[in-house]
Amino acid sequence: MSTLAPGARRKSKAGWNLLGLLVFVTAGFPVYWMLNTAFKPAKDAIDPDPSLLPTGLTLGNFSRALDIADFWGPVGRSLIVSLSVVAIGVVVGTLAALAISRFAFRGRRVVIVGILAVQMVPLVAMIIPVFLLLNDLDQYDKLSGLIITYLTFILPFTVWTLRGFIVNIPKELEEAAMVDGCSPTGAFLRVVFPLLAPGMVATSVYAFVQAWNEYLYALMLLSQKNQTATVWLGNFTTKHGTEYAPMMAGSTMMAVPIVVLFLLVQRKMAAGLTAGAVKG
């Protein structure tokens, strides 16, 4: 096909590869520097001429990070909040996604526009009324209050992505099952659900990550004694300055599990998020 000689082709590829590696280094540097600082002795972190390569390996920063403020409390609370949000979000979201992707009904368009529109409202704009609402409902500084508010941004997201996964499952499969004597519910449970399950897992993980990472509501709607993991990171900055090495250890503990989860599902998610976008 190509008129280029094999040698020239390889050479042109080498140039692109070099550029690609440059992107790799630039984009990866902040992550590398976080890990590097987390594991290096704290005194080496405050060297005005830091060494780019690791200088000795220590876990001291991690134990210091765990000492500075209670770590497992915030992590436990973050887990409770995120898992609850995912459980409610995915069940309720699947039902709604089924409605808008498998049924034609009057008002469908309005529902779709509504679900999309609420994603546009910036969280910060909502914080004042949400704060007052939770105050009135006696839900301020309670995890249940935070869970409800997280649903405002998790639900539209789960509905829209699950819709993307559902429309990729051919309707004919359900129809065939019903011809064979399944009820609509039976057809869903036996045919659609198994095919949808991987999409539901990916959506759950993604929603979990979003809920886990949320900062503003967690900061505003919970007091210090009930803080979640993202807010916990703020404990390293005091008026006496910032303890960077333990802070990077804390950051590592927060980021690594999330990034690993993310790596596992990102390919599937990108497919779900953009399902139909190009074809359209």
**Binding to another protein (CB under 8 A): which residues in 226-265?**
230-231, 233-234, 236-237, 242, 244, 247-248, 251, 254-255, 258-259, 261-263
Residue 273 binds another protein (CB under 8 A):
yes
Q: Are 50 and 44 in contact (CB under 8 A)?
A: yes
Considering the complex, what minimum distance in angstroms separates the CB of residue 3 from another protein? 11
Instruction: Kindly tell me which of 81 and 148 has the beta carbon lying closer to another protein.
Output: 148
Instruction: Kindly tell me which of 72 and 215 has the beta carbon lying closer to another protein.
Output: 215
- Give the residues across from 241 on adjacent strands: 238
Residue 178 binds another protein (CB under 8 A):
yes
Joined together, the tokens standing for residue 203 give 């959506």
Q: How far is CA 244 from the centre of its chain?
A: 25
Instruction: Kindly tell me which of 79 and 133 has the beta carbon lying closer to another protein.
Output: 133
Residue 79 binds another protein (CB under 8 A):
no
CA quadruple 77, 215, 212, 266: dihedral, nearest 10: 180
Query: Which of 6, 120, 138, 223 touches another protein (CB under 8 A)?
Result: 120
Binding window for another protein (CB under 8 A); candidates: 58-66, 67-75, 104-112, 193-201: 104-112
Q: Are 196 and 166 in contact (CB under 8 A)?
A: yes
Quick one: how many helices (H) and strands (E) in the chain? 13, 2
Q: How far apart are CA 191 and CA 169, in angstroms?
A: 9
Q: How far apart are CA 137 and CA 149, in angstroms?
A: 13
Residues in 145-174 at the binding interface with another protein, rule: CB under 8 A? 148-149, 151-152, 155-156, 159, 163, 167, 171
Query: Which of 102, 142, 143, 195 touches another protein (CB under 8 A)?
Result: 102
Query: Which of 5, 6, 7, 30 touches another protein (CB under 8 A)?
Result: 30
Residue 138 binds another protein (CB under 8 A):
no
Q: How far apart are CA 192 and CA 136, in angstroms?
A: 42
Residue 11 binds another protein (CB under 8 A):
no
Considering the complex, what minimum distance in angstroms separates the CB of residue 63 from another protein? 19
Query: Three-state SS for 221?
Result: helix
Residues in 184-213 at the binding interface with another protein, rule: CB under 8 A? 184, 209, 212-213
Considering the complex, what minimum distance in angstroms separates the CB of residue 194 from another protein? 19
Residue 277 binds another protein (CB under 8 A):
yes
Query: Which of 101, 161, 203, 204 touches another protein (CB under 8 A)?
Result: 101
DSSP string, 45-95: HT-SS--SS-----SHHHHHHHHHS-SHHHHHHHHHHHHHHHHHHHHHHHH
Q: Are 251 and 69 in contact (CB under 8 A)?
A: no
Report the chain's C-alpha Rg in angstroms. Answer: 24
Considering the complex, what minimum distance in angstroms separates the CB of residue 207 from another protein? 13
Q: Are 89 and 158 in contact (CB under 8 A)?
A: yes
Residues in 34-63 at the binding interface with another protein, rule: CB under 8 A? 34, 37, 45-50, 52
| Nearest Cα to Cα of residue 157 among 212, 120, 110, 194 | 120
Residue 115 binds another protein (CB under 8 A):
yes
Residue 6 binds another protein (CB under 8 A):
no
